[in-house]
C-alpha cells in the first residue's frame, strides 16, 4: 500500500502548498440508528444530491474552490471521530466550512446555549458534543464563512450541561442554470461570518419520515434543501438571503410537521407522548455581512503518478476517504472546461492507470440513485475530458479489485443548462 499512500500524500502536499481556496464539508449522519437510521440515510442522500454536489460544482468551476469532503456515517460516526476531524482541519482565510449533523440530540436544564448536544451514534451522555462548542471551535479556524447545523432533538433530559415535504424525483442528471450559478456564488462568496442552527428549540424533538414513495428523510433537512433550491432559483437574491433561507426553512418544517399524522406512530415506538412535542421550531443565529468575493484561483493540476498495488478496502475509513478525495479532485479537474484539453487529457490518462482495464462507470440520477447510463472507463474519461457541456462530476462510490485498482465506479454528472 506504500505506492497508494504516496499518491494520496503527493496530491495533498501539492494542494496544501498552493493554499487553494477550499470548501470543507463536515457531514455526520447517524444512518445506523435503529429508530431514525432510515430517515437519516434519506436526508444524507438528499442534501448531497441537491445542495453539496451543486455548490461544489459551481464554486469549483466559477471560483476555483476545491472540495474537502469529510462524509462520516454508519459505524464510523462517533464523538471521538468528530473531535478528531475538527482538530485536524486546516483552513485559509477565504475557505468555507459547513458542518452538518443528523441524528439524536439532547439538552440539559443547565445548558446555557439554545442549541443541542449531539449523541454522535453512542449512548454515553458524558461523550455528547455540544453544537455551540463545535461552532466556536470551527470559527477559530479563520474561514470567511462558517456554517454549523444540527438536525436533532433538543429535548431536556437528565444529562450534564455541556407535514412531510415531498419533491418530485429528478430521474436525470443535475442541471444548473446561469441564474442559479450566479446566486450560489453570491450566497457563498459575497458574505463573511458564521451561522449556527438547530432543527428544534429547547425542549423539542425533531422528526424523520419514510413511506412507500420515498426512501425517507427528515423534516428540517428536506425543508432546508427545498428552500435553498427556491432561493438560488430566483432572478436575484434578496437583501439578506441567509436570514431569509433559515426563516423560510423554519416555517416550512413547522408547517409540514404540524400537518403530518405519521409522527404519532413513530413516537409511540419510542415510548414518548407525542402531545408533549407536537411540532418542531428551528432556532438559528445568522451573523454574516456583505464582503468582497475572493479572486478566482486556478485549480492545481493533480499529481497522480504511480498506481495502487494492494486492497484499499483493508485500510481504515479515513484512508478510504482520503483516496476518494484524490479521485474526486482528479475528476473535477478532468471535467472542468476552464482547463485546456491538453491538461484534461493528461490527468485522464493518469487517472486511467488507477482503474482495471474492464472497469465500468455507472451514471446515477440526481435523486433516486437509479442508473441512467453506463460506460467503460476509457469512454467515460475520454468524454469528460473533452466535453464543453459538462459542469462537474460528483463521485458517489468506488469498488476495488484485490490489487487496489478501481473495478467499478458510480458518479453523478452535473450539466450547465
Q: How many residues are given for the chain?
A: 417
pLDDT reported for residue 297? 85
Is 46 within the bounds of a domain? yes
Together in a domain, 282 and 330: no
Together in a domain, 113 and 205: yes
Residue at grid coordinates 463573511: 192
How far apart, in Å, do the first and last CA atoms of the chain sit? Answer: 42
Is 205 within the bounds of a domain? yes
Is 393 within the bounds of a domain? yes
Together in a domain, 194 and 321: no
| One pLDDT digit (tens) per residue for the chain, 417 residues | 334 443 444 444 343 334 589 999 999 999 999 889 999 999 999 999 999 999 999 999 999 999 999 999 998 999 999 999 999 999 999 999 999 999 999 998 888 899 999 999 999 888 899 999 999 999 999 999 999 999 999 988 877 776 333 444 666 788 899 999 999 999 999 999 999 999 999 988 888 876 544 456 898 999 999 999 999 999 989 899 999 999 999 999 988 877 664 444 444 434 443 444 457 899 999 999 999 999 988 888 887 765 454 555 555 677 788 888 889 999 999 999 889 999 999 999 999 999 999 999 999 988 767 888 899 999 999 999 999 888 899 999 999 888 888 999 999 999 988
pLDDT reported for residue 159? 72
| Segment 398-404 long-range contacts (CB within 8 Å, at least 24 positions apart) | 398/323, 398/324, 398/327, 400/311, 400/312, 400/313, 401/311, 401/356, 402/311, 403/308, 403/309, 403/310, 403/311, 404/1, 404/4, 404/308, 404/309, 404/310, 404/311, 404/312
CA distance linking residue 238 with residue 147, whole number of Å: 19
Together in a domain, 167 and 27: yes
The CA distances from residue 135 to 18, 194, 204, 211, in Å, are: 27, 9, 21, 34
Is 182 within the bounds of a domain? yes
Q: Model's pTM, two decimal places?
A: 0.84
Where residue 189 sits, what CATH number does that domain have? 3.40.50.1460
pLDDT reported for residue 15? 39
pLDDT reported for residue 417? 82
pLDDT reported for residue 260? 64
The CA distances from residue 123 to 78, 118, 156, 185, 354, in Å, are: 10, 10, 16, 40, 41
CA distance linking residue 246 with residue 200, whole number of Å: 12
pLDDT reported for residue 380? 95
pLDDT reported for residue 214? 45
Range of the structural domain that residue 40 is part of: 21-290
pLDDT reported for residue 278? 56
Residues facing 413 on adjacent strands: 393
* The total number of structural domains that make up the chain: 2
pLDDT reported for residue 302? 84
Q: How many CA atoms lie within 13 A of 295 on its CB side?
A: 2
Is 296 within the bounds of a domain? no
The set of cell numbers assigned to 105 is 440530540
The CA distances from residue 128 to 29, 82, 103, 331, in Å, are: 15, 11, 12, 37
Residues facing 71 on adjacent strands: 27
Where residue 387 sits, what CATH number does that domain have? 3.10.450
Together in a domain, 88 and 165: yes
| Closest residue by Cα to residue 367 from 179, 177, 182, 226 | 226
pLDDT reported for residue 78? 92
Burial class (CB in 10 A: 0-12, 13-18, 19+), 261: exposed
The set of cell numbers assigned to 11 is 496530491
Is 8 within the bounds of a domain? no
Amino acid at each position: 500500500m506504500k505506492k497508494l499512500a504516496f499518491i494520496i500524500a503527493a496530491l495533498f502536499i501539492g494542494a496544501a502548498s498552493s493554499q487553494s481556496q477550499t470548501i470543507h464539508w463536515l457531514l455526520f449522519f447517524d444512518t445506523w440508528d435503529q429508530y431514525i437510521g432510515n430517515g437519516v440515510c434519506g436526508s444524507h442522500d438528499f442534501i448531497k444530491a441537491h445542495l453539496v454536489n451543486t455548490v461544489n460544482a459551481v464554486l469549483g468551476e466559477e471560483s476555483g474552490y476545491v472540495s474537502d469532503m469529510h462524509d462520516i456515517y454508519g459505524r464510523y460516526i462517533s464523538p471521538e471521530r468528530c473531535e478528531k476531524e475538527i482538530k485536524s482541519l486546516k483552513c485559509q482565510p477565504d475557505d468555507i466550512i459547513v458542518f452538518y449533523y443528523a441524528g439524536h440530540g439532547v439538552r440539559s436544564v443547565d445548558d446555557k446555549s439554545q442549541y443541542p448536544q449531539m449523541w454522535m451514534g453512542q449512548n454515553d451522555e458524558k461523550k455528547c458534543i455540544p453544537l455551540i462548542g463545535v461552532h466556536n471551535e470551527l470559527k477559530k479556524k479563520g474561514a470567511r464563512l462558517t456554517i454549523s447545523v444540527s438536525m436533532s432533538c433538543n429535548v431536556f433530559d437528565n444529562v450534564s450541561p455541556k407535514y412531510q415535504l415531498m419533491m418530485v424525483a429528478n430521474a436525470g442528471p443535475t442541471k444548473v442554470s446561469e441564474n442559479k450559478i450566479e446566486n450560489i456564488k453570491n450566497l457563498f462568496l459575497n458574505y463573511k461570518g458564521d451561522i449556527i442552527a438547530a432543527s428544534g428549540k429547547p425542549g423539542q424533538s425533531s422528526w424523520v419520515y419514510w413511506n412507500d414513495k420515498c426512501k425517507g428523510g427528515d423534516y428540517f433537512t428536506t425543508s432546508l434543501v427545498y428552500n435553498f433550491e427556491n432561493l438560488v432559483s430566483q432572478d436575484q437574491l434578496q437583501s439578506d438571503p441567509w436570514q431569509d433561507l433559515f426563516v423560510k426553512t423554519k416555517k416550512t418544517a413547522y408547517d409540514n410537521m404540524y400537518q403530518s399524522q405519521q409522527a404519532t406512530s413513530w413516537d409511540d415506538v419510542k415510548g414518548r407522548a407525542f402531545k408533549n412535542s407536537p411540532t418542531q421550531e428551528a432556532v438559528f443565529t445568522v451573523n454574516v455581512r456583505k464582503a468582497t468575493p475572493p479572486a478566482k484561483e486556478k485549480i492545481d493540476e493533480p499529481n497522480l503518478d504511480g498506481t495502487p498495488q494492494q486492497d484499499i478496502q483493508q485500510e481504515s475509513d479515513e484512508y478510504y476517504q482520503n483516496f476518494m478525495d484524490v479521485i474526486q479532485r482528479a475528476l473535477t479537474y478532468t471535467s472542468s472546461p476552464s482547463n485546456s484539453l491538453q491538461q484534461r487529457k493528461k490527468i485522464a490518462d493518469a487517472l486511467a492507470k488507477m482503474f482495471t482495464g474492464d472497469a465500468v462507470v455507472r451514471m446515477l440520477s440526481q435523486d433516486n440513485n437509479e442508473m441512467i447510463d453506463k460506460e467503460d472507463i476509457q469512454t467515460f474519461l475520454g468524454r469528460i475530458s473533452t466535453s464543453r457541456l459538462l459542469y462537474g462530476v460528483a463521485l458517489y462510490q468506488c469498488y476495488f479489485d484485490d490489487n487496489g485498482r478501481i473495478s467499478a465506479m458510480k458518479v453523478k454528472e452535473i450539466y450547465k443548462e
